[in-house]
Amino acid sequence: METPEPKISMNQGAAYWSCITGAPRPHRGTLIRWALKGVRGKRLRAEPLAGRWFTTTNAIEDFLRHLLQPPADAVEQIPGPARAAQMQRALDDLDRVIAPKRPGRKPQAK
């Protein structure tokens, strides 16, 4: 039986988002909006509890993967070699950061 993943607050979720993307930290209200309204048909998995919103790191990773996929109605554009290399490096970095975590070990802060 798997143990449920611990819930994190939206402030912690925003910090995690910034950590894995390298982008500026989004406001917690942005994560709540993603949970309520979604982006391109996908909502961030989150739930309110006692007036506060909580999510999980897996939910943030799944949502980020969705955002990295091109929209279904997008016209396919072939990037130039420099842009293709930049995109591949970004995906490699994301896969390295979001690598499967070994059970029984806590993630170390950077």
Q: What is the pLDDT of residue 69?
A: 84
Asked whether the beta carbons of 14 and 28 are under 8 A apart, the reply is yes
Number of folded domains that form the chain = 1
Phi-psi region of 5 (alpha: psi -120 to 50; beta: other; left: phi over 0): beta
The whole-angstrom separation of Cα 68 and Cα 40 is 11
Residue 16 lies in a domain: yes
Q: Using 50, 70 and 90 to split pLDDT, how confident is the model at 44?
A: very high
Q: Do 55 and 45 contact (CB within 8 A), yes or no?
A: yes
What is the domain range of residue 32? Answer: 8-69+83-97
Residue 109 lies in a domain: no
For residue range 14-31, list pLDDT tens digits in order.
Answer: 999 999 888 999 999 999
Q: Report helix, strand or coil for 54.
A: strand
To the question of pTM greater than 0.85 for the whole model, the response is no
| Residue 33 placed within a domain | yes
In a domain, 102, yes or no: no
Q: Residue 78 domain-assigned? A: no
